[in-house]
Structure formats: C-alpha cells, structure tokens
Amino acid sequence: MNSAPLVASPVSKSDSDPVKSPAVQAMILASGRPMPLDSGAVLGPFTLAYETYGLLNDSKTNAILVCHALTGDQYAASAHPLTGRPGWWSTLIGPGKPVDTDRYFVICTNVIGGCMGSSGPRELNPATGQPWGLNFPVITIADMVRAQVLLLDALGIDKLFAVLGGSMGGMQALEWATSYPERVFAAIPIATAARHSSQNIAFHEVGRQAIMADPDWAAGSYHTAGRNPSRGLAVARMAAHVTYLSETALHRKFGRNLQDRIAVTYGFDADFQVESYLRHQGSTFVDRFDANSYLYITRAMDYFDLAAEHGGQLANAFASSPVRFLLVSFTSDWLFPTPESRAIVKALTAGSASVSFVEIETDKGHDAFLLDEPELFRIVKGFLDGCAEQYGLAARSTAQQADRKAARPRRGIRADLKLIADMVRPGSRALDVGSGDGSLLEHLVHDKDVDGRGLELDPDGVHLSLAHGLAVIQGDANTDLAEYADGAFDYVILSKTLQAMRDPRAVLEHLLRIGHHAVVSFENYGHWRTRLSLMLRGRSPIDRERAYRWWESYNIHPCTIADFLDLTKALDIEIEETVVLGPVGRVVKSVRPKSLANLFGEQAVFLLKRRRQTT
C-alpha cells in the first residue's frame, strides 16, 4: 500500500470548458506526496474520475479493473452523460454477462490526461487558476497505472482479481501485470501490443498535426482563449477511425454507395456514404473529447515499450510472473495484428507463465473487441470462471453456482486418454500438445490437480477449451514448441499427433527438452488389420481409428511400434512404461516381444524420459 496520505472521499467536480462535463464520481489522490512521473515531473494532488458496478465483497477479493482505449472513458457499462449512448463495453459488462456484476466489483477509471473528470490538460492548474493546456506534464501508460494503483489503495483493495482492456486498455493491463504482478491475479489484454509500432506512431502523428494545424488550437491555449480546434480534432478522429475498421467491413457497410444522390457531383462534398460516415464520426467526437487530451494520450501510447523498460528483452518483463494471462487478437485487425499478441505469448511461454491465447476470426477489424463478438464473450467468461475457481472466488448464491455448472458441464474422456492421465503424477505441471477440445486437460486439472496447459492449432478446439476455463494457446507444435523453456513441465503429452508432425524426431526431442517426462501415443500402422488390408486389398486401411481416405489423411508419417522403438533407441530415450491397446481400447496382454506388440496393438502409449548422462 502506498504510504502517502490520500483523500478517500468521493468528490463532485465540474470544469470550465465550453463543453460542460457532468458531476462525476472522483477521488483526489496524492494530496500528501506528489506522484512521480516517467518524465521526471511530479503530479499531485490530482483527481481520478471513475465508475463502479456491482458490489465489493467483504474480503475485497472480487475487484476487476477495466481499462479503456484511446478515446474511451470511465463509462464502460453506463450511459454516457454527454451523448446518452450505452457504455462502450456494455456488451461485456453487466449482470449475467461475461464480466458479471452480480459476482464481480468492476472499476473503470478515466485515465490521467483524459477529459471526463480526471486531471488533464483542460483541467485547472492549481498553481495558476487557469487550464493546464500544454503545461500539463507529459504522461505515459505507466503513469496512468500508477494513478490507478493510488485509487485502489484509497479504496482499500490490495489485489485485483483481474484487469482487462483492449487496445490502449490492453497496454494498461500489461503494465499492471508486469509492474504490479503481486497485485493482479489474472490479466486479459485484448487487441494490443507490448509496444507501439512505427506505423501506429505515424498515424498518431497525422492526427496530432491535424489538431495543431487548426488555427483555433492557439498553441494549446484554446481554453483560455475561448476557442476550440474542432476541425483539427475531427480530422484526427476520422483518420484514426479508418484504422479501427477493416477493408472488408467498410466495403460491406458502404461499398461505393453514394450519399443521398444518384450521381457524383464532381466536387468535394461527401459524395460517398463512407465519406459522410467519417465526417459524422469526426463531428460527434468533438462534442465529447478534448483536443489536448488527444495529444497527450496518443503520445502515451507512442512511448509504450515493455521490452525497453526491461533491458530490451520482453521475456524479462514476465520472468517468473504469477499472473494468469488471456490474450486475444482478431484476424482482420491491422492496427494491432496477431503477430503483436504472439510476441507477448512467446515472451510469456519463455518464462513458463500461465498463458492462454486465441485469434478470433472476424472481419470487423480492430474495433471487434468493442462489438458483438459472441466468441470473445464466451472465451472471456470461461477464462474468468476458471480463474475464479483457482482464486477461491465463490459465486454469491447457490443458484449462480448451479447456473455455471450447467453452462460448463464436465466431460468424460476416452479410454486411451485415461491411460495417459494415469501416467501423470497428481499435482504436477503438464503441457498437452495438440490438446484438441481440452477433454484430457480438463480431466488432469480437475481430477488430478495438475497445473495443466495446452497447445492446439485448431481454433474450434482452442475456443472450446478456453470456454471451459482451461489455459490453452492457439499455436502450431511444429514451430511453437521451440518457444518453451527447458524443463518447464514435469510432463509433456503428445496424443495421436506425432505422425502429423513435419519432423517427428525434432518434436520428440522438444518434448523431452521441455518436460522431464513425455507421454506419446499414436496409431500403430504395423497392426495386423493394416497389414491385411495392404496385402489382400492393396489399399490403405479405412477403419474406426482412421475413418478417412488416404488423400484426406492428416497423417504424413505412418510409423509402427517397431519404428518408434527404433527412434527412441537412436535418440537414447528411456522407455519408462508402455501400454499397447487393442480393439475398443482394451489393453493387449502378453505383448512383451516387440513383434507381437507391433502385430496386435492398434494404438501404443509410451512414457519416456531422457537417459541420465554418465561421466
């Protein structure tokens, strides 16, 4: 807890801007000791405006901090007092919604430097009695988070159950998780990055120059002069808004349709619907946002660079992190594309952090995180529910507990997966490579108290796993295993996936580098039915386990038990346990001779480890 004296009573506040602000819920912070900023300046006392939803429980363990994007504010789930529009994340936050205010206490602040009641360039400088203007100190994402920390201190909340946000809100979530990991249980950064790209900095500079080129900007002193650079701010908003959308979404919505006319005018009015739409976005934006705040907040995003704050290595930011992460990206987001999220996932896996990641298929662009995306809602809800179980955060009522169990019923597992689970020690750490729908992982986590993670290429399997509260990364075992640290897990599991790998030998070596033990299962192509089909019919077999024709097969390395034993010998791998399965998952007895196992086994399961090197 910060030891600086704090004024913890809410205050009502208004400002002198021509665009009137309503009374807001706010807190005066750092009144006893100014808050240091990254720039070297200090700020204090200052005001932080915020909204809350739901009730804080007696132990103060159910708090979720929601962080807003560039042009957002504290009205995440309540009607905006100036526009009357629903909260910008009202689709996600509310009773019975993914961020369930019947269960969680949700806090959303307006960042410092903002313009909806928090201290910023349009507020009065107590030293001069005039609006701060450009005399307000330049702030960073880290400064925004420091202010939020002081607010939580004032509210008596020592630890957040979760922090989440999209875009700039995702940057704040990352800053929370790296600078205050002991105060965050779970973090959900959505459509964001660990640093602002040069392209995004360029777009921001275009917007800033549009504002500063407006004669009414008056070198930043337009408040004092009674002016408003609305034209420049509108252009800045128009340019930025284009980056929030995708070409597909723009074409679907507008195409080349004309606006209220049957032919072009051969002039510079809004001939096209898309032009009219952007002008509307710009004109309505100036009614609720301050031009100088736009300068300050875009600059804060430009300066954000987690790796630079940690010796130039992003993995250092997440070293030994206890925080549980869920990262989400969108296929059509070109402002914060998926590789930006994957870079964060790579850094987290290098540090053996608990991380889930999914890329959601959508054509809605960067703004998808603010729109009606059922898959996003399902994943966020599943992740929070799973974290709540781990955190010991019970539902408020028996009915709510029953509703969650009904929404997420436990699933059974196949006989071969049960055999694999029996090889994994309770309470251990395990990575399931090719985790599918997560049924094995779920069994390990809930029935054997295993700290289980998954890696799965198929997005449907990832979505289903995340909706069941499991920690799964959407990724490719052929390439992504290299990102995991040596000895990160007790067990690494590869079930019926080895034969589909491009380089099975390299994958097997990765399994035993990442894990102290590996559990590998595969279909045996040396089984007598396979041999009989090839000998009598001259065709690849089609049976219960391989119900596809050869050209539909995902298997590219149809090895036999004998082949696999040869590989383990070549790699000097010790076989700790072998189980060979016959029809209907039955364990085949008396198969110790390699030739008999290879003849009668339909599937084999091996528990492996590296041989100890002797000197």
Q: At what angle do helices 141-155 and 291-303 cross, to 10 degrees?
A: 100
CA distance 287 to 607: 65
CA distance 445 to 2: 37
Q: At 106, is the secondary structure helix, strand, or coil? A: strand
Give the residue from 159, 167, 228, 248 showing the smallest Cα distance to 19: 228
Counting every residue written for the chain, the total comes to 615
- Is there a contact between 49 and 23 (Cβ–Cβ < 8 Å)? no
- Is there a contact between 233 and 297 (Cβ–Cβ < 8 Å)? no
Partners of residue 491 on adjacent β-strands: 430, 517
Amino acid identity at 110: N
- Is there a contact between 149 and 180 (Cβ–Cβ < 8 Å)? yes
Give the residue from 360, 396, 363, 401 showing the smallest Cα distance to 380: 360
- Is there a contact between 295 and 135 (Cβ–Cβ < 8 Å)? no
Angle at CA 345, nearest 5°, toward 184 and 451?
Answer: 65
Distances (CA, A) of 11 to 8, 14, 28, 126, 354: 9, 10, 8, 16, 40
DSSP 8-state secondary structure symbol assigned to residue 102: T
Q: 208 φ, ψ to 5°?
A: -65, -40
- Is there a contact between 165 and 190 (Cβ–Cβ < 8 Å)? yes
DSSP 8-state secondary structure symbol assigned to residue 34: P
Query: Could you tell me which residues come within 8 angstroms of residue 324 by beta carbon, excluding any fewer than 6 positions away?
Result: 185, 186, 187, 354, 355, 387, 390, 471
Query: Could you tell me which residues come within 8 angstroms of residue 393 by beta carbon, excluding any fewer than 6 positions away?
Result: 61, 62, 103, 161, 387
Partners of residue 189 on adjacent β-strands: 165
Partners of residue 495 on adjacent β-strands: 521
Residues designated as active site: 167, 333, 366
Distances (CA, A) of 494 to 34, 157, 352, 491, 499: 54, 42, 19, 10, 10
The dihedral through the CA atoms of 464, 470, 474, 477 has a sign that is negative
- Is there a contact between 238 and 281 (Cβ–Cβ < 8 Å)? yes
- Is there a contact between 8 and 27 (Cβ–Cβ < 8 Å)? yes
Exposed, middle or buried: residue 261 (CB in 10 Å: 0-12, 13-18, 19+)?
A: exposed
Structure tokens at 418: 């049960």
